[in-house]
Amino acid sequence: MPCYITGSEAGDRELEYKELKKEATKVTRLLCEACELLEHYSNRNHWGNEPLQKWYVKHLKIDDKRKKEEDKIKKQQKLKKQALSKLSKEEIDALAYGL
């Protein structure tokens, strides 16, 4: 069964990229939440929908990679903040302006 955000393929093509991306993100979040509920109440192998199982496994891997990258960035920001807190304003300015 073909499913479209707007109800038709032509309607989906007319959506602007940003709007379509926003809607796709919303639907992905909803689908992820639904899969989490399914997994909570039953074994993933008993869902009876192999494409959904495959999508969810792939989604979990992508999500895990994103979380690790976000954690890495947060750690780097924290280290930078700690390092800068040890410097005087003049030292920070010298670094910022290459003096």
Cα–chain center distance at 35? 16
Q: How confident is the model over 16-72, as pLDDT tens digits?
A: 788 888 989 999 999 999 999 999 998 887 888 899 999 999 999 999 999 999 999
Picking from 68, 64, 96, 98, the residue whose alpha carbon sits closest to that of residue 80 is 96
CA distance 19 to 44: 32
pLDDT of residue 99: 59
Report the alpha-carbon distance of residue 66 to residue 79 in Å, rounded: 20
CA triple 41-64-38, angle to 5 deg: 15
pLDDT for 4 equals 77
Sign of CA dihedral 73, 24, 46, 37: positive
The pLDDT of residue 72: 97
Give the range among 6-15, 56-65, 81-90 with minimum mean pLDDT: 6-15
Question: Given a cut of 80, is residue 5 above it in pLDDT?
Answer: no
- Amino acid identity of residue 69, one-letter, is E
